[in-house]
Amino acid sequence: MKPAIGKILWVLLATLFVLPAAYLLLLSFSSSWHFPMLFPDALTSKWWAWSFASRYAVIGGMGLSLAIAAGVSLISTLAAFLSSRWMALSRHRNGLLLLAYFPFVLSPVVLAAAIYIFFVRLGWNGSVAGVIFAHFLIAYPYAVILFSGYWNERLLTMDALAATLGAGSFQRYRRVLFPLSRGVLALALFQTFLISWFEYGLSSYIGMGRVPVLTVQVYRYISEANPHMAAVASLLLVFPPLLMLWVNKRFLIRLI
């Protein structure tokens, strides 16, 4: 590649990637911005102030989203860590792993639509617990697939050795498996967090609009034609992943 073309390409790419966030940031601080204005007529912080006010439950929604995503990430990572270990020891590991791919490839909102009736029967629709469980149903298989390559022969042998040295199952998790797996556990925690944090379709379907997570709020402001508040909510949605990018960019590379 010729240096000049390379430079132009980088500028183009940077524009393409930075533009959405930059545009939304400007939108969130503009008092009005519509056709045919190229730039907002005046800047204001009122949308941000409103979002912190109680009438606009944006901050509350962010807290709810955080709590749900943290819960989903913790439960699904832990459950998948255990079950992927048992799978690695099982004769049927290939078949068991295959099962995890089915919910993985399915559109979450379609899955929600298909099982919605069972949530209604169980009284879980429109509740936070129901949304957490529904998120778990897609975050768990993801984490299982992520862990599936992790349990190699060496790790399993080390685990067995710890057992013959007298460590019970709980001790082995505490003293050997968890400390050795810090990296992959962190990866799974962050990525399952993002799956839940970004999820809109499943949350709105199972939550019936009664569980106002941040994504549901973004959509609500968009459909109420309030682009400024939608931009504020959008930026709040982008903030934690950006933080992750700053901590460790590897956490962001995931398939969905």
Q: Figure out which of the listed residues 117, 122, 129, 247 binds another protein, where binding follows CB under 8 A.
A: 117
Look up residue 30 and give its DSSP letter: B
Binding mask 1-30 for another protein (x = CB under 8 A): x-------xx--xx-xxxxxx-xx--x---
Given a contact cutoff of 8 angstroms between Cβ atoms, the answer to whether 182 and 165 are in contact is: no
Q: What is the footprint of another protein within residues 138-177 (CB under 8 A)? A: 140-141, 144, 148-149, 154, 157-158, 160-169, 171, 175-176
- In this structure, what token pair is assigned to residue 230? 């939608």
Are 236 and 57 within 8 A, CB to CB?
no
**In this structure, are residues 28 and 228 in contact, taking their beta carbons and an 8 Å threshold?**
yes
Q: Which residue has the tokens 């556990």?
A: 185
Q: Judged by CB under 8 A, does residue 107 bind another protein? A: yes
Residues 33-52 that bind another protein (CB under 8 A): 34-38
Tell which one of 12, 49, 114, 122 touches another protein (CB under 8 A): 114
Which residue's CB is nearer to another protein, number 52 or number 86? 86
Q: Is 43 helix (H, G, I), strand (E, B) or coil?
A: strand
- State in angstroms the smallest separation of the CB of 128 from another protein: 19
Q: Are 66 and 226 in contact (CB under 8 A)?
A: no
Nearest approach in angstroms of CB 45 to another protein is: 20
Closest distance of CB 106 from another protein, Å: 5
- CB of 155: closest distance to another protein in angstroms? 10
Could you tell me how far CA 8 lies from the centroid of its own chain? 34
Q: Are 140 and 108 in contact (CB under 8 A)?
A: no
Quick one: which of 61, 71, 130, 227 contacts another protein (CB under 8 A)? 227
48, 57, 59, 83: which one contacts another protein (CB under 8 A)? 83
Residue placing its CB nearer to another protein in the complex, 54 or 151: 151
Name the nearest CA neighbour of 49 among 232, 231, 218, 214.
232
Can you tell me which residue has the tokens 């709040």? 236
Tokens representing residue 251 in the block: 């956490």
Q: Nearer Cβ to another protein, position 54 or 152?
A: 152
Which of 101, 122, 129, 247 lies at the binding interface for another protein (CB under 8 A)? 101
| Residues 50-79, interacting with another protein (CB under 8 A) | none
* Closest separation in Å from C-beta 238 to another protein: 6
Q: Does 253 bind another protein (CB under 8 A)?
A: yes
Phi/psi at 30 (nearest 5 deg)?
-100, 140
Cα 132 to Cα 119: distance, rounded to the nearest angstrom: 12
Say if residues 172 and 163 touch (Cβ distance below 8 Å).
yes
| Residue matched to tokens 């930075």 | 18
Nearest approach, Cβ of residue 115 and another protein (Å): 4
Check residue 129 for interaction with another protein (CB under 8 A). no
